[in-house]
């Protein structure tokens, strides 16, 4: 297992914790952030999906974020945020995001942008802490139970004895070889764009044993966790945008995005042609346009005499 330790150290040097590490009640959280030069800027929370880290959404949206105050945390166990107890529970993940907002944004309400499993987290944040969320932008969302299981590899990774051995041996060895095909599947049916996607977002961080184990635990619990919270979605009254990608091979648009339009009939919906699981990379301007639309809607709600 020495190569796993050496490999993890190399990955950490290649993709260091270049954001801000904050000690919070539930444990430390590492987050990337940016601040607008203008006072009173809209606050954003950017929450990445499975097998990823906080670099992903800022890399996709780039300089478009410059007029916002934004936070992009590493979820527990991924990137450089340590795992928390029971972090496979969406309630714990949402509570982690709430702590970050309260500490780094002084509790200012955010428009929360979630990609894939990050959408499940921000949906839970919206129903558990509606005081902290004033809009949701859901990208290729995972939101509803599908009645199935995650991959065999993930299921094995959470088993006693077998799991730790698998996590220490396989990801560091096979991960770099399998990553290009996994990334291509995420972008399919379109091409991987940018070609250096894995390098830009630090995909290699996922191949460290503890991150692989954390992600596996999240995915094994995913169907059960979504089933426990989906019934609460109709209570969400804030602006919602659902942006899916045509041809998504990772999450089913029929199960997730379509079900959201039933539970949240007021949501604005978009399907980006050829975007697969990565609509925010194919059309980042659409993401910003939906954030702006939600800002306008919230401003209109706050005007005197508004219903």
Q: What domains lie within the chain, and their CATH numbers? A: 17-154+222-299 (3.40.50.1820)
Question: What contacts 244, CB < 8 A, 6 or more positions away?
Answer: 139, 140, 141, 253, 256, 257, 269, 270, 271, 272, 279
Q: What confidence tens digit (pLDDT) does each residue in 23-33 have?
A: 999 999 999 99
Pick the closest to residue 151 from 56, 218, 53 (CA basis). Answer: 218
pLDDT in tens, the chain (307 residues): 666 888 899 999 999 999 999 999 999 999 999 999 999 999 999 999 999 999 999 999 999 999 999 999 999 999 999 999 999 999 999 999 999 999 999 999 999 999 999 999 999 999 999 999 999 999 999 999 999 999 999 999 999 999 999 999 999 889 999 999 999 999 999 999 999 999 999 999 999 999 999 999 999 999 999 999 999 999 999 999 999 999 999 999 999 999 999 999 999 999 999 999 999 999 999 999 999 999 999 999 988 866 5
Q: What confidence tens digit (pLDDT) does each residue in 15-24 have?
A: 999 999 999 9
Pick the closest to residue 280 from 72, 77, 123 (CA basis). Answer: 72
Question: What contacts 303, CB < 8 A, 6 or more positions away?
Answer: none
Where residue 69 falls (left for φ over 0; alpha for ψ -120 to 50; beta otherwise) is beta
């Amino acid at each position: 297992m020495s190569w796993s330790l050496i490999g993890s150290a190399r990955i950490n040097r290649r993709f260091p914790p270049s954001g801000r590490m904050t000690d919070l009640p539930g444990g430390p959280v590492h987050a990337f952030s940016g601040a607008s030069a203008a006072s009173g800027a809209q606050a954003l929370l950017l929450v990445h999906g499975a097998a990823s880290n906080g670099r992903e959404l800022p890399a996709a949206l780039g300089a478009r974020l410059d007029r916002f105050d934004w936070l992009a945390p590493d979820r527990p166990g991924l990137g450089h945020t340590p795992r928390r107890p029971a972090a496979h529970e969406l309630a714990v993940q949402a509570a982690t995001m709430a702590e970050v907002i309260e500490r780094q944004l002084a509790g200012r309400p955010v428009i929360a942008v979630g990609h894939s499993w990050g959408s499940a987290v921000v949906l839970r944040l919206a129903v558990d802490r509606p005081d902290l969320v004033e809009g949701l932008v859901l990208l290729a969302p995972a939101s509803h139970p599908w009645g199935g299981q995650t991959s065999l590899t993930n299921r094995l990774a959470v088993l006693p004895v077998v799991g730790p051995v698998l996590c220490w041996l396989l990801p560091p060895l096979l991960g770099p070889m399998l990553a290009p095909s996994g990334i291509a599947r995420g972008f399919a049916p379109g091409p991987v764009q940018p070609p250096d996607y894995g390098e830009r977002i630090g995909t290699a961080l996922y191949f460290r044993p503890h991150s692989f184990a954390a992600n596996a635990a999240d995915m094994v619990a995913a169907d059960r966790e979504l089933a426990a919270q989906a019934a609460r979605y109709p209570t969400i009254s804030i602006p919602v945008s659902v942006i899916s990608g045509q041809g998504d091979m990772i999450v089913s648009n029929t199960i997730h995005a379509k079900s959201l339009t039933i539970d949240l009939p007021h949501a604005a919906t978009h399907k980006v042609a050829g975007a697969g699981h990565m609509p925010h990379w194919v059309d980042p301007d659409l993401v910003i346009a939906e954030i702006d639309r939600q800002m306008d809607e919230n401003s209109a709600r706050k005007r005197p005499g508004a219903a």
